[in-house]
Amino acid sequence: MKNLLFVTALTMSAFSANAQSQPSVAVLDFDTRGYNEVERYQIIQKLSLEMINMSDYEVMDNYDIEYISERDEKDFTGCFSRICLKEYGEQLEVDFILTGSMNLLGEKVSTTVRLFDVTEGKFIKSTNRNYVDVPKNDLLMAELTLKDMLGVEVDPELVRRVTVANDYDNILNNPFDRTLVAEGPRMGFGFVTGNNAKILAKPLAEGGWNQQIPLSSQFGYQFEKAYITTGNWQALAEIVPMISGLESNRFIPTLTILNGLRSNNSGWEFAFGPTIDVSRTMDGQLDSRGEISFSTALVFSLGKTIKSGEMNFPINAFLIPPKDGTSYRFGISMGWNSAKKKRLLD
């Protein structure tokens, strides 16, 4: 029985010593006067929770701070100087006070987190980091800066996505436009092989177009709509109306509807779907003497969007398999748009 009491007393003593060895800290305020896009109280709560999760400090409860504030009729907010931090820390009987600030500097958000030692009356730890100015990222910026100050390891990819301005759009650094947008004007060239190339080269009297080089220019516009966005991928529908053949006195309207996948991280995409064009045909084949008719085909497209600063440059190659086994159609198109452009269909 005596041994049991001795072990119990020893255990309680160990717990008591451990509790006393933990320094106490209070999170009183966070200066956001230089960056009005954030909620100050939420940052205070976020920093308090992060300190609790690290378990190296005994964090003073917000309700205790509120009680002492009402009891002593003293407002503990708005204090960022060493003089008042020392005074408030002694009144609250804590070892440290965590504070900081956020300021908008140009296109960057300067975030500072500091740890004040009440006994010594000075800041013993301080870290400043600059982040991309994107709404709704204030809690993440405060968390990353705090962990950096305390030497806690963080995901470097997570840091890169909130510090690199000209990175591919993603959920973290653009919550209002989470996908890479390639919508915009298109222009390029298409080539024809096989029997249709021979028909194009024939004289007009024989049903051709006197087109010795089976190449046609293309001008149009790509509309797109993302219907699924998850992680770094988006599934999207694309509608591409175009005009081709102008260099050979031809006016060929086409409409292509594609369904595809695009990586927001790398910019690569693949799509396929039907294409409809208007041309003159006779006896089931191209003929300049024939009547205007509609024809359909299946098109496959592979492309990549190259990003440079605030500009996107989508480049696509396409292939249309032949119906007659010889007349392949293939080509390349490119375009551009602003990286901040919004889709017309979104």
pLDDT tens-digit series, residues 96-126: 999 999 999 988 999 999 999 999 999 999 9
pLDDT tens-digit series, residues 5-19: 444 444 444 444 444
Same-domain status, 145 and 192: no
Same-domain status, 202 and 84: no
Sign of the Cα torsion 31, 34, 40, 46 reads: negative
User: What is the count of structural domains for the chain?
Assistant: 2
**Quick check: is 319 in a domain?**
yes
Contact 130, 105 (CB under 8 A): yes
**Quick check: is 226 in a domain?**
yes
pLDDT category of residue 340 using cuts at 50, 70 and 90: low
Query: Which pLDDT does position 61 carry in this prediction?
Result: 92
Closest CA relative to residue 28, chosen from 73, 68, 1, 55:
68
Same-domain status, 156 and 192: no
- Name the range with the highest mean pLDDT among 26-35, 148-157, 169-178: 26-35
Same-domain status, 143 and 228: no
Same-domain status, 146 and 211: no
**Is it the case that residue 319 has pLDDT exceeding 90?**
yes
Same-domain status, 217 and 98: no
pLDDT tens-digit series, residues 33-80: 888 878 889 999 999 999 999 878 999 998 999 999 999 888 988 999
pLDDT category of residue 290 using cuts at 50, 70 and 90: confident
**Is it the case that residue 3 has pLDDT exceeding 60?**
no
Say if pTM beats, i.e. exceeds, 0.75: no
**Quick check: is 104 in a domain?**
yes
Pair of tokens at residue 11: 């255990």
**Quick check: is 144 in a domain?**
yes
Boundary residue ending a domain (163, 194, 228): 163
Same-domain status, 97 and 243: no
Query: Which domain range does residue 86 map to?
Result: 21-163
Same-domain status, 258 and 119: no
Closest CA relative to residue 336, chosen from 315, 316, 312:
312
Pair of tokens at residue 271: 């799509």
**Quick check: is 8 in a domain?**
no
Mean pLDDT of all residues in 265-292: 89
For the chain, the farthest-separated pair of C-alpha atoms sits apart, in whole angstroms, at 119
Q: What is the CATH number of the domain that holds 285?
A: 2.40.160
What is the spatial distance between Cα 289 and Cα 275, in angstroms, rounded to a whole number? 23
Query: Which pLDDT does position 171 carry in this prediction?
Result: 46
pLDDT category of residue 343 using cuts at 50, 70 and 90: low
Question: How close are the terminal C-alpha atoms of the chain, in Å?
Answer: 75
Same-domain status, 204 and 155: no
**Quick check: is 2 in a domain?**
no
Same-domain status, 116 and 207: no
Mean pLDDT of all residues in 146-156: 90
**Quick check: is 344 in a domain?**
no
**Quick check: is 129 in a domain?**
yes
What is the spatial distance between Cα 10 and Cα 110, in angstroms, rounded to a whole number? 49
Query: Which pLDDT does position 230 carry in this prediction?
Result: 73
Boundary residue ending a domain (163, 198, 224): 163
Same-domain status, 214 and 140: no
Query: Which pLDDT does position 227 carry in this prediction?
Result: 87
Same-domain status, 153 and 193: no
pLDDT tens-digit series, residues 308-317: 877 889 999 9
pLDDT category of residue 246 using cuts at 50, 70 and 90: confident
